[in-house]
Structure 1
Amino acid sequence: MTPANLDAALGIRVRPDQEHAVAPVVKSLAEAYVHPGVAWPRLITDGGRPVGFLMAFFDIDWRLDGSVTRSGLWRLNIAAGEQGRGYGRFAVTAVAAELRRRGATRMYVTWHPGPDGPERFYLGLGFRTNGETSGGQTVGVLDLTPEPRR
């Protein structure tokens, strides 16, 4: 995120039927501001065209008592007209690569439960539920095995 692409990021909107399941980009940017060094906001572009927004988190105090820290995908907003084109998969893969680079062995995500939520998307990428919830959302975890060398 830069001053030059702020307005483009703020313009990212999911489909109206998804708005209840994911916070808008403006909330993510406010959270990134109050969690410096933990939040990792990124605008997703294709040929310079904004198509989505992601925010990862690194070593966040998961239980708010310092006993458990986790890293993962905090927010994923793919623009309404850009969904189904692989941008979400790209975003998850990019966060996983960054987490591997930082030495993480697991990647966490939460999602809105129910038939209108993104559970199928995350399970299809290899996340598994771990029986936890966070703020009423389902917690998923992806084991980050090292990528094969090419």
Structure 2
Amino acid sequence: MTSTLRLEAVTAANLDTALGIDVRPDQAHLVDPVVKSLAEAYVHPGVAWPRLILDGERPVGFLMAFFDIDFKGDGGTDIRSGLWRLNIAAGEQGRGYGRFAVEAVATEIRRRGGTRLTTTWHPGEDGPERFYLRLGFRPTGETSGSERVGELHLTAEPEPEPEPESGPA
């Protein structure tokens, strides 16, 4: 993975770029299109965090995270943050962009004080379950609609190694 990977907020200036992100046709039934994500972000402005995934200046995907939602809808007994949507462009898959996206969301959740990352996926052979399990997600036994719920427990990011002290030679 190169240091040219970054996230960029979706704005009026890059909206068409975001809308142009499409997964492979055989995956379209597994993840909603970017346009639905942006509509959801519009009606959930304090919760949704839509971002383009860029490699340099080249758009390679889209993600939408969520922060501090009442996951069970029961008045706040189970507040969660996580990955709401992940769309890696059809021609860009298998290059580590999905892993980068999950790591970027994990970093943002940690920054906000969270200790777990929740996501959902469609079960089945053609679904992304193996991808999420390889990253350390574990099924919770819950479902959200027809999707399986998984969690990744976040540890604190490692502290950078201190610079060696250089004394007189």
TM over 0.5: yes
- Residue 21 (1) aligns with residue 48 (2): no
- What is the aligned counterpart of 2:141 among 108, 126, 131? 131
AA of the residue aligned to 2:38? L
TM-score (norm 2): 0.87
Superimposed CA distance per residue, residues 73-126 of structure 1 (whole angstroms, 9 cap, x where no aligned partner): 000000000000110000000000000000001100000110000000000000
How far apart are residue 21 of structure 1 and its match? 0.4
Q: Which SS does the other structure have where 1:81 is aligned?
A: helix
> Which residue in 2 is equivalent to 1:58?
67
| Cα RMSD (Å) | 0.6
Q: Distance in 2 between matches of 1:47 and 1:53?
A: 14
Please list the CA deviations of residues 39-58 of structure 1 after superposition, one character each: whole Å capped at 9, or x if unmatched: 00000111111100000000
The gaps in structure 1 that reach 5 residues or longer are: none
Query: What is the one-letter code of the residue matched to 1:4?
Result: A
> Where does 1:27-106 land on structure 2 (aligned, <5 Å)?
27-66=36-75, 67-106=77-116
Distance (Å, rounded) in 2 between the aligned partners of 1:65 and 1:147: 32
Which residue in the other structure is 2:152 paired with?
142
- Partner in structure 2 of residue 120 of structure 1: 130
In the TM superposition, residue 65 of structure 1 has moved relative to its aligned partner by: 2.0
Quote how far apart the aligned CAs of 1:69 are: 1.5
TM-score by length of 1: 0.98
| Count of residues in Structure 1 that have an aligned counterpart in Structure 2 | 150
Rounded to whole Å, the distance in 1 between the matches of 2:145 and 2:67 is 19
Query: Within 2, Cα distance between the matches of 1:128 and 1:78?
Result: 22
Counterpart residue type for residue 52 of structure 1:
G
Deviating beyond 2 angstroms after TM superposition, the runs of 4 or more aligned structure 1 residues are none
Of structures 1 and 2, the larger Rg is shown by 2
Residue 35 of structure 1 and its aligned partner are, at CA, apart by 0.3
Query: Percent identity between the aligned chains?
Result: 77
